Amino acid sequence: MSKFSKGKKKSQPAISTASLPDIVFMLLFFFIVTTIFKEKDTKVVVKAPLATEITKLDRRTDQIYYWIGKPSNKNYGTGYRVQVDDALAPDMGAIRAYLIERRGGDLSEVWDKVINNFKIDEKVNMRIVKNVQEELRNEDALKVAYTLKDKK
Amino acid sequence: MAKRELEEINAGSMADIAFLLLIFFLVTTTMNFPKVLEERLPQKIDDIIDPPLVKKENVLEILANKNDQILIEGSRGEIEDIKDKVIEFYVHPINSTIWPKLTPINESMANQYIEKFKVLSAQYPDDNRYADTLNRWEIKKGVIDAIGTYNEISDKAMITIQLDNATSFKTYVSVLNEIMAGINELRAELCLAKFGIPYNKIEKSKVPEDQAKVKILRAVYPKRIMKAKSKNSQR
């Protein structure tokens, strides 16, 4: 050791970290610009089917999310469950109740601006999908979109 | 040490702050934009009415059973066959008897009908039907102005999807996807031929001129998909 540092007591100058914040800020801005917020916490596991004819949805569109899949937590059961926005729906009637709560008192044409975004597991059978959509039709919420995976 | 006049502000913690923010955004955001297939549910009708009789040639019937097998117009088919059938459904020889009626629309015809229904709707302002028909012919006139004479598919033509309760969502999506693939291919072809631009460039555009073009393409190849009530699943 003493062989190398013989005579000289001068210590190495520290590497300047002054530019580190700049680099990190650059990364930060990159992520702010290129990503979007996760919409909701999902309580069910969904493997969406593949499709080719899908289009991007305007991210500012008012949306209600529906997930249909098996709960990730076994305490919620092992069958397919429907999650509407934040909560698992205990039954189909709860979906309509949620829609009524969402639109408020007036029966105006609110539903023309709202897209009901479905994320459905590929194995779910159409009976469940039909039952959920029947609730939407009861409330006249007719705009539906299915979030799917791009095949490309 | 007289040289030390300027005390440097320690910027070391700045990086920590930025890192914290960065990690926050990494965790709470997601890269992939959701892509969707849109659909409009049919309006709820309270009282049960008998469905109007439709001619067989006006309907492209696609059926998916509980085992996710596909029946197209009564014969066993694969998912991939749907696209070609859809294209044939919209574009076929005019004198065909197995596909929906195609009517060539030209300018003099459109003008004639517009005149006729203008008079009628002025005469009977209470009757919406005349105004509706006038409106429809004005749309057709707009299409002719943009792309010239075209064959109009019968307004009773539609594609029906019949599903079993046990049909999987995956199958439904692939059927819907193939139908849209067929329609989009026709629209894209027409778009390239008449406007010289790819359809996917203008499809979601917010520019009014592009939206007008999309409207024209949609008028020529309308998307009319109906989810029919499933018959008994024994079939």
What ipTM was assigned to the predicted interfaces of this complex? Answer: 0.78
Cα(A90)–Cα(A102) distance, integer angstroms: 17
> Higher pLDDT residue, B186 or A33?
B186
Residues B194 and B83 in one domain: yes
B35 interfacial to chain A (CB closer than 8 Å): yes
Nearest chain B residue to A56 by CA distance is B35
Per-residue pLDDT, A108: 59
Share of chain A above pLDDT 70, in %: 88
Q: Residue A31 has what pLDDT?
A: 83
Alpha-carbon distance B131 to nearest alpha carbon in chain A (angstroms): 24
Kindly tell me if the per-residue pLDDT of A10 is higher than 70.
Answer: no
Backbone torsions φ then ψ of A116, nearest 5 degrees: -90, 105
Summarize pLDDT for B33-69 with one digit per residue, the tens: 778 998 888 888 766 666 677 788 888 989 998 888 8
Chain A partners within 8 Å of B40 (Cβ): 142-144
Instruction: Answer yes or no: do B170 and B224 share one domain.
Output: yes
Share of chain B above pLDDT 70, in %: 91
Question: Which residues numbered 195-224 in B keep a CB inside 8 Å of some CB on A?
Answer: 203-204
Shared-domain flag, residues B165 and B198: yes
Q: Give the structural domain span for B118.
A: 107-148
Verify that B180 and B235 share a domain, yes or no: yes
Looking at the structure, do residues B208 and B116 belong to the same domain, yes or no?
Answer: no
Contacts of A38 in chain B (CB under 8 A): 28-30
Would residue A140 be called left, alpha or beta, if left means φ above 0 and alpha means ψ between -120 and 50 degrees? Answer: left
| Per-residue model confidence (pLDDT) at position B172 | 92
Is B210 within a domain? yes
- Verify that B207 and B233 share a domain, yes or no: yes
Q: What's the sign of the alpha-carbon dihedral B18, B21, B26, B32?
A: negative
Q: How many structural domains is chain B composed of?
A: 2
In chain B, residues 111-130 whose CB comes closer than 8 Å to chain A: none
pLDDT for A44-92, tens place per residue?
Answer: 888 999 999 888 887 778 888 999 999 988 888 888 999 998 888 888 8
A148 vs B12, B35, B181: nearest CB: B35
- Based on the fold, state whether residues B67 and B94 are members of the same structural domain: yes
**Cβ contact, residue pair B38, A142, below 8 Å:** no
Tokens 């699943």, located at residue: B233
Long-range contacts of A31-34 (CB under 8 A, 24+ apart): A31/B22, A31/B25, A31/B26, A31/B29, A32/B25, A32/B29, A34/B31
Q: Write out pLDDT tens, residues A89-102.
A: 888 889 988 888 88
Give, in order, the Cα–Cα distances in Å from A150 to each of A54, B141, B154, B167. Answer: 7, 37, 33, 22
Shared domain check, B133 and B157: no
All residues at 6 or more sequence positions from A20 whose CB lies less than 8 Å from its CB, including other chains:
B14, B15
Q: What residues of chain B lie within 8 A of the CB of A115, using their CB? A: 38
pLDDT band at B176 (very low <50, low <70, confident <90, very high): very high
Say which of B34, B43, B165 has its CB closest to residue A126.
B165
pTM to 2 decimal places: 0.80
Burial track B52-70 (b if 16+ CB lie within 10 A, e otherwise): eeeeebbbbebbbbbebeb
Within-domain flag for B14: no
- A124 token code pair: 């779910």
pLDDT at B177: 93
Q: Using the predicted structure, report yes or no on whether residue B213 has a pLDDT greater than 50.
A: yes
Residues B226 and B125 in one domain: no
pLDDT for res B171: 92
Of B11, B31, B165, the CB nearest to A125: B165
Show residues of chain A in contact with B14, CB under 8 Å. 20-21
Locate the chain A residue with the closest alpha carbon to B22. Answer: A28
Is a pLDDT exceeding 60 seen at residue A128? yes
Same domain for B159 and B196: yes
Residue spans of the domains in chain A: they are 44-150
Residue B125 lies in a domain: yes
Pairwise CB contact (< 8 Å): A147 & B34: yes
Model pLDDT, residue A56:
85
Q: Which residue of B has its CA nearest to A39?
A: B29
Using the Cβ of A113 and the Cβ atoms of chain B, whether some distance falls under 8 Å is answered with no
Position B233 scores a pLDDT of: 41
Does B17 reside within a domain?
no
- Check CB contact of A4 with chain B, cutoff 8 Å: no
Q: Does B132 share its domain with B196?
A: no
Chain A contact present for B45, CB below 8 A: no
Classify residue B66: in a domain, yes or no.
yes
Q: Do B142 and B206 fall within a single domain?
A: no
Q: Taking CB atoms and an 8 Å cut-off, how many pairs form between chains A and B? A: 146
